[in-house]
Amino acid sequence: MEEKTIVEKLTADFERIFGTEAEGVFFAPGRVNLIGEHTDYNGGHVFPCALTIGTYAAAKKRSDRIIRFASLNIRGGQITEISLDDPTLALDGSDPGPGRGADDWTNYPKGVIWAFAKSGHKIPCGFDILYYGTIPAGSGLSSSASLEVLTGLVLRELFNLDGVRQVDLAINGQKAENVYVGMNCGIMDQFASAMGKAGHAIFLDTNTLEYKYAPLDLKGMKIVITNSCVKHKLVDSGYNTRREECETALDTLKGVVGGLGSLGELTPEKFDGIADVLSETIAKRAKHAVYENARTIDALKALGQDAVEHFGNLMNESHTSLRDDFEVSCPEIDFLVDMAWKIPGVLGSRITGGGFGGCTVSIVKDEAIATFKETLTKAYKEKFSLTPEFYVIDAGEGAHRIC
């Protein structure tokens, strides 16, 4: 659906559902990470770009203290209502307690409202908000981050919250997901959604939040996302376990390297010299984090020199490492990547996102895209009785107001 059509539908549905006209329409994109996976909570670098698919919202302030949430993606836009004074929102500065979980989708926007209040922004009255997302569910392209960043944008715009920078939308979004929802994600997804720039990837140092935009003009090639259409149970628990394993590695290595702040501070050479203090599994996890960070730094250079072939090789190495050392892949994804590697005109292919299903990202020459889609579709169907979905993507703009 074209953006114009989406905006028309969203505003019409807003009126139907809430019985009043929306005062603005907003958008925040999903993201794909080109390389630098599971490095964002290890103080390393990531290299994502924002997509042109994401989440839209129409919203309007109310004169009372009620917030009404609805999403066209959930139960036909059924309304969930909460008062700003509801203790579960914890807007009085009290501790919201342990995460409320991802099973109720309104915990994402509620978490953002909580995070804004926590950082000192007053929400003076309630509002009505209707969401509509165009990111395929379960694809791992970060619909949750786009929902959070978008909610922050809506708060800033509706209530003229001075001093809320674009990067604060990302920071508050992550805080909402970490504390309020209880998913211990890094900053990458929210950062890409808030800070994306059309035609560019973002090279981000997650330790300092320093970043650089890298032009993504792949001449004669495209970035193709392949959705495996599987999502394994481990997505959230596996993610949190990997995080803990990386923390264990860091704690142990601190005993060897004084003042070590994160795994991202280690070069592969330095790491290899001290890795034997770690148990086998923990060493594998830490090795991925350290080497992946080095690959990501290398990838920025490669892109700058138009060395896309080298960039592709780094993506392939990234996959091998995520499969064997970090162990966050799955048979379906490994199969799609293996197949892709065999197709002439594919420069690189790897799992992207949190893992245990979701999508692969590949760089494919224009003339090979049709073969790529046909070959993968046929082989994947035969092996897993599943049909993969393909998105040939453009790097899109970060969160913004549409009208």
Q: Which residues bind Mg ion (CB under 5 A)?
A: 144
- Radius of gyration of the CA atoms of the chain, in A: 21
Write out the two tokens for 267.
């070069």
Shortest Cβ distance from residue 169 to Mg ion (Å)? 15
Among residues 124, 198, 152, the alpha carbon closest in space to that of 55 is found at 152
Does residue 48 belong to the site contacting ligand ADP (CB under 6 A)?
Answer: no
Q: Give the helix ranges, DSSP H, for 32-163.
A: 107-118, 143-158
The residue from 6, 102, 230, 343 that contacts ligand ADP (CB under 6 A) is: 102
Does residue 186 belong to the site contacting ligand ADP (CB under 6 A)?
Answer: no
Closer CB to Mg ion, 144 or 321, in the complex? 144
**Residues in 303-342 that interact with ligand ADP by CB under 6 A:** none
| Count of Cβ atoms closer than 10 Å to residue 328 Cβ | 26
Interface segment toward ligand ADP; rule CB under 6 A; list 115-123, 134-142, 314-322, 364-372: 134-142
C-alpha separations of 376 from 4, 115, 350 in Å: 33, 43, 14
**Catalytic member of 13, 128, 189, 325:** 189
CA dihedral sign, ordered 375, 376, 382, 385: negative
Task: Name the binder of 105 from ligand ADP, Mg ion, none, CB < 5-8 A by kind.
Answer: ligand ADP
State yes or no: is 189 an active-site residue.
yes
C-alpha separations of 221 from 203, 213, 341, 398 in Å: 20, 19, 15, 23
Closer CB to Mg ion, 55 or 144, in the complex? 144
Does residue 147 belong to the site contacting ligand ADP (CB under 6 A)?
Answer: yes
Is residue 218 packed enough to be buried (19+ CB in 10 Å), middle (13-18) or exposed (0-12)? middle
Does residue 73 belong to the site contacting ligand ADP (CB under 6 A)?
Answer: yes
The residue from 33, 42, 144, 193 that contacts ligand ADP (CB under 6 A) is: 144
The residue from 133, 264, 312, 355 that contacts ligand ADP (CB under 6 A) is: 133
Q: Which residues contact 269 (CB under 8 A, 6 or more apart)?
A: none
Does residue 117 belong to the site contacting ligand ADP (CB under 6 A)?
Answer: no
Shortest Cβ distance from residue 382 to ligand ADP (Å)? 27
The residue from 36, 126, 140, 396 that contacts ligand ADP (CB under 6 A) is: 140
**Contact of 344 with 364, CB cutoff 8 Å:** no
Closer CB to ligand ADP, 127 or 131, in the complex? 131
Does residue 69 belong to the site contacting ligand ADP (CB under 6 A)?
Answer: no
**Contact of 208 with 329, CB cutoff 8 Å:** no
Task: Name the binder of 102 from Mg ion, ligand ADP, none, CB < 5-8 A by kind.
Answer: ligand ADP
Among residues 115, 112, 111, 118, the alpha carbon closest in space to that of 93 is found at 118
CB-side neighbour CA atoms (13 Å) of 394: 8
Task: Name the binder of 73 from ligand ADP, Mg ion, none, CB < 5-8 A by kind.
Answer: ligand ADP
Chain residues in the site for ligand ADP (CB under 6 A): 55, 71, 73-74, 102, 105, 108, 131, 133, 135, 140-145, 147
Q: Give catalytic residues, as residue numbers.
A: 189
